[in-house]
């Protein structure tokens, strides 16, 4: 039948197996690094688009980041940026409720993020604005009732 493998031959097979495992294990972090770099590129493009007043384009870029990093950094940065975009005074599609939703997601999904504390502040500010709007609406209704 076959002859017995020599110790040198066995050593060669073990080394080859270790090399294959090392190469395969190194591929995952490289993919993660590439995704992270791509996410940061999208974030930078989103910042540039906000500066140019292209809020819709900035939203798309931030959504790309969320698709690449839904539960890891820089996903928290993308959510924070989306919250700022929807609260931005120059955005014609400004929506404080939507902005509030993004900030709330940061606090819930990324509690350890350095942006979580800032998001809590924005939640308080936007909540106050929404309450003030409700008071204004009630005052206007009262005025209409009094003029009748």
Express each pLDDT in 75-118 by its tens digit.
999 999 999 999 999 999 999 999 999 999 999 999 999 999 99
Determine the Cα–Cα distance for residues 47 and 55; give it in Å rounded to an integer.
Answer: 10
Determine the Cα–Cα distance for residues 105 and 27; give it in Å rounded to an integer.
Answer: 31
pLDDT at 23: 62
What mean pLDDT is reported for the chain?
A: 86
pLDDT at 19: 67
Instruction: Evaluate if residue 30 carries a pLDDT over 70.
Output: no
pLDDT at 45: 94
pTM above 0.85, yes or no: no
Per-residue pLDDT band at 29 (split at 50, 70, 90): low
Instruction: Evaluate if residue 34 carries a pLDDT over 70.
Output: no
Domains observed in the chain = 36-147 (1.25.40.10)
The token pair at 30 is: 């490289």
Range name among 4-8, 43-47, 65-69 with the lowest pLDDT average:
4-8
Q: What percent of the chain has pLDDT over 90?
A: 61
Q: Residue 130: CB partners within 8 Å, gap ≥ 6? A: 96, 97, 100
Angle ∠(66,71,77) on CA atoms, nearest 5? 55
Compute the CA torsion angle 110, 115, 116, 120 (nearest 10 deg): -150
């Amino acid at each position: 039948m076959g002859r017995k493998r020599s110790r040198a031959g066995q050593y060669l097979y073990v080394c080859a197996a270790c090399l294959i495992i090392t190469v395969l294990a190194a591929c995952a972090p490289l993919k993660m690094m590439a995704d992270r770099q791509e996410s940061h590129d999208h974030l930078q493009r989103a910042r540039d688009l906000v500066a140019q007043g292209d809020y819709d384009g900035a939203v798309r870029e931030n959504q790309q980041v969320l698709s690449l990093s839904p539960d890891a950094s820089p996903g928290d940065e993308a959510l924070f940026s989306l919250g700022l975009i929807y609260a931005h005074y120059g955005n014609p599609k400004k929506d404080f409720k939507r902005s509030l939703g993004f900030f709330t997601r940061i606090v819930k999904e990324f509690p350890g993020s350095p942006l979580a504390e800032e998001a809590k502040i924005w939640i308080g500010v936007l909540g106050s604005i929404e309450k003030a709007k409700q008071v204004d609406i009630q005052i206007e209704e009262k005025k209409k009732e009094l003029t009748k």
